[in-house]
Amino acid sequence: MEFSRKQLVSIVEQASTLSERLSSKFVVNSTKKFDDLVKTRIEKWRESTARGDDKKFENRLAWDGLTLEDARRAVAPVSLVDQINLPAWTETLNEGMKVATIAFLPEVQYSCIDLQEPIPFEELFLPFVYIARQKLAARTGQNYHQLSDTAHAMLERRLLIAFSEIGAHAAEIKFSGFRATRQSAIAYILKQSENTVSRDRYEAFIKQMLNDNGLIAFFQEYPVLARHLATKINFWLDAVEEFLSQLATDYTKIQQIFQPDADLGQVVEIKCNLSDPHNDHHTVMIITFASGLKLVYKPKGLHIDEAYFNFLSWFNQQEIDLPFKCLKILNRPNYGWVEFVESSPCEDKKAVQRFYQRTGMLLGLLYILRGNDCHVENLIACGEHPVIIDLETIMHPRIKEKENSNQPQTALELALQFLVQNSVLQTHLLPQWHLALGGKLVYDLSPLAVNDEQDTKYEHPIFIDINTDTMHLKYEPVPIDFGNSHLPSLGETYVSPDNYVENLIIGFQKIYRLIISHQEVLLSANSPLLNFYHQRIRLLFRGTQTYASILNNAQRPEYLKDGIDYNIKLELLSRAYLTEETKPLFWPLLQQELCSMVQMDIPYFSAFTDSNQLFAGLSTVSFADCMAPTYPDVVTRIQQLSETDLTRQIEVIRGAFDTSIGNDLEGTLSVSLGQPESTPENITPLSQEQCLEQAIAIAKKIQLQTFYADDSAAWIGLEYVPTVKRFQLKVLGYHLYDGSCGIALFLAALWTVTKDNQYRSLALKGLQPLRQYLENLSPEKPTELTESVNIGACVGLGSIIYALVQISNLLDEPTLLDNAKQVASLITTEIISKDQELNISSGSAGAILSFLALHKATGEAMYLELAITCGNHILKQEIASDVGIKTWDTAEKKLLAGFSHGASGIAYALLRLYDITLAGSFFLGAKEAIAYERSLFVPEAGNWMGLSDTNNSFTTGWNHGAAGIVLARLGSLAVLDTSEIRQEVEIGLNTTQKSSFDRVDRLCCGNFGIIDILLEASNRLSRPSLLKDAQQRAASVVSKAQQNGSFYLFSRHYNDMYNPSLFNGMAGIGYGLLRLSYPKLLPSILLFDCCS
């Protein structure tokens, strides 16, 4: 069985890529019968690159010198000009076809087959393993025998797995069709339920494919798959031949360096494909000799590795109490051999502490050297030694954000640059959550992530009943499991870094100060740093996960039928470039990326540490305007080391570990039945002066955290991402809840009390990025803010409106009202009608409160009308609950009890609206919300159930539960005051006062949330005892903060430095302290009240 030349030519034509079709090697078949096909492909190309945007698609073509007509020709069917000299891969493909029947003769043995772990459709691809084996033996001669039979079997098995990964999904489609013609659907279902395993139909399918020209038809249907498979063989042959030749050349040297006292013998084990495929599918391998020696083979020069371990060795010779482990290396120009590092346990807990101190020291070195991509698979815990095993991205080049470096940076840009390029986060050693696939995939690749196994919502295709009659694909969510080789262990117990953060920080401080003490030597002509000069390193232009995701999607069977369909899926890479209106400086890299991806390689870019030129394959591109050479940057970093920078980096380390806490917004303030806690009576309440003193101290700390530039200010902090229930350390946005508006509101309140202009100035500077953003808004150019779907009072446009109104009142700054009006103009009736959240935090109820605040400040009726529109929208979403009471169909699919996301918040907003409009529908809607909430009340607990509450534990915070419900009832007493409401207030207050105050301290669902609610209750009920309780709680919280050095913002750590925000951070605590001192001057933020 083999292809005719005509068939091979057809496969080459169909498998050709966009760039090939635009070359002189092909001519276009431009008959009208292909017009519809061309039109469809152009639409798919436009969608893939530009999400259907004509202008962006036009840019994508123009930047490559193409017109739309050129594009049409590129996607049309083509004919090959030279039909004699076909690409090399066609010969390999046909050789595999020729041996399809020979490959199954009895004398042909396959050690790569494992009956206990079958590979999907392995028999279908064995002929290609056979031809690869024959060609390798012929090409390598005596070098072939450097590997034992077992090692060769391991190589061949990995090749067979690669073939299956390329073609099994397409084969499954063919098998399903084959099976359907020989078995009814009912018989197939019954077969699946039987316990017996049959292979009759599967073997008949394989026989047809290998003996009856089935493979010919298969590859004619999937020509791109045929090209991939044959190309894979050729790349594999080249890579293995190189490896065997290099092994033969270096054999004696390897023995001398790594095991001088024993004969190495043959290579008896080989693990390959241990890295991403680069440069024609070259990957890292681990080999084991008969002597037991294990080595890592890397198909690239190891000059940077040598420089790194020499650098560690230099530090070991200094006054260092915890020496680093240095690896032996045999470096060659284009490849090298490295000592294998085995994961092993620590001797005792002291050794674990030393491990994390050394990890902190490594973090310091990586920070100094501008290291990058130290992910979980690049660190091995070898006893008490953390060892980095992949150093290709150390001294990673810095990408300049601004093409014109003379243009001044804004505060937001400065903060972002610090976080991304000038902080320890750049190393990727610290916890960092990443979002992918629209938030379906949430993962952390760092070695110091607390979660070693991470659940994802992303479903992977898995073959069930492999190589049997009932084999089929099933999509199942698969957890990300990186193993534990990066973690220290005691016996069989792996030890998370969670309780060793301080050890890590101690190590970081040690190495940082050691480098400072040796600055003169490190910057001298004899510096050990010079080993890094003019060394080639890798540039990570994009994350490998991005490439892998796009490549996996393009490998689906429907895209393997034509090279254009495959190429169009890869064109997704161009989207990142098309965010610019002018041709990006990095545009030349796109073609290099596509060239690699077309042959299933992960793109690989490199540069020298002293140059701004990039290398990709045989191409060299200069990026002087947007890429900085690394070596001078490292020198500059060493020159700029200081105690101030050390402090800031330590704060980032703590903040990074705070991101690993997951969902810590709720449940941190709870009361369990039978275990009430109350404020000790002997605590002396804080005086007004003490409250103010503490608030000022918080403001000064926030000042230290501030990034200043161009008369503006910005902050970094922990921002909560509700869709995935995770915190991320990032430059804070504009929102009230966790953005600059919230911080500015606290500073404005502090100015109102103290009249100290430094706080007024900082508040206005903090708002300047927002005001500049609004000034540059264009209806023709949608932006992140204008496309925001959230309109609530905590996060979203409504929160910005509310904040600007209050700050305008506090600072007596009328121009801020103009900004509030600008934001209000972005909330159209259409946007309101699409709101599904409905709640106070992010939905229409919150927007009501924001519009009412703006209406009160301006007297303009249009804002009251918008509030009414929001109220009507809420009422339209009412549905009957399970118990027959009306409720709302919210984004959470069930209305919760509580203020920010629940029924009491909606009721409060509707009652506030009724108070102004006297529209009975809003009053009735509020009563229905309260009635629904009452159905969730549990008398024994004195609390209201939430979705996640158990029978003996209830949330008692502002978000959900008694405290927030009490606040909502108190806030609307002037409108709805009944005996039932009063009774609920008393019950809720009693439960709130019993709640633990020895937990988190923040305003949202923390101690200062409880304090503010008790303060508001004292004011509205004229009850001094509640004020005393609030003051005592505040005194206790402040006392503990003074003892521990910071407030308690999260369940794990005492650390406030990177949490300056209002609801989850220090600004909220500061505002709460000011409210305790001046309750009638400052409004309750938790009620979204207005300044008097």
Is 65 part of any domain? yes
pLDDT at residue number 719: 83
Is 138 part of any domain? yes
pLDDT at residue number 1035: 94
**Closest to 875 in 3D by CA, of 888, 885, 894:** 888
Residues marked as binding for Zn(2+)?
1004
- Check: CB of residue 508 under 8 Å from CB of residue 364: yes
pLDDT band at residue 191 under the 50/70/90 scheme = low
Is 828 part of any domain? no
**3-class SS string, 82-106:** CCCCCCHHHHHHHHHHHCCCHHHCC
Is 82 part of any domain? yes
pLDDT band at residue 440 under the 50/70/90 scheme = low
Is 114 part of any domain? yes
pLDDT at residue number 30: 74
pLDDT band at residue 401 under the 50/70/90 scheme = low
- Give this prediction's pTM: 0.89
pLDDT at residue number 326: 98
Is 699 part of any domain? no
Distance CA 997, CA 1011 (A): 9
Is residue 736's pLDDT more than 50? yes
Distance CA 224, CA 87 (A): 14
Among 116-125, 438-447, 675-684, 932-941, the range scoring the smallest mean pLDDT is 675-684
Backbone angles phi, psi at 335, to 5 degrees: -165, 180
- Domain range for 189 is 5-250
Among 208-222, 624-638, 987-1001, the range scoring the smallest mean pLDDT is 987-1001
Residues 321-351 have pLDDT tens digits of 999 999 999 999 999 999 999 999 999 999 9
Is residue 948's pLDDT more than 80? no
Is residue 671's pLDDT more than 80? no
Residues 579-619 have pLDDT tens digits of 888 999 889 999 999 999 999 999 999 999 999 888 887 67
- Check: CB of residue 1091 under 8 Å from CB of residue 1082: yes
Burial of 755 (0-12, 13-18, 19+ CB in 10 A): exposed
DSSP calls for 961-1019: BHHHHHHHHHHTTTT---HHHHHHHHHHHHHHHHS--SS--SSTTSHHHHHHHHHHHHH
pLDDT band at residue 667 under the 50/70/90 scheme = very low
Residues 878-931 have pLDDT tens digits of 887 776 787 776 655 567 888 998 899 999 999 999 999 999 999 999 999 999
Q: What is the residue-averaged pLDDT of the chain?
A: 90
Distance CA 857, CA 25 (A): 71
Burial of 937 (0-12, 13-18, 19+ CB in 10 A): middle
Is 98 part of any domain? yes
pLDDT at residue number 950: 46
Q: How far is CA 861 from the centre of its chain?
A: 44
Residues marked as binding?
1004
pLDDT at residue number 193: 56
**Total tally of structural domains belonging to the chain:** 1
Residues 740-765 have pLDDT tens digits of 999 999 999 999 999 999 999 999 99
**Closest to 656 in 3D by CA, of 498, 439, 546:** 498
Is 168 part of any domain? yes
Is residue 769's pLDDT more than 80? yes
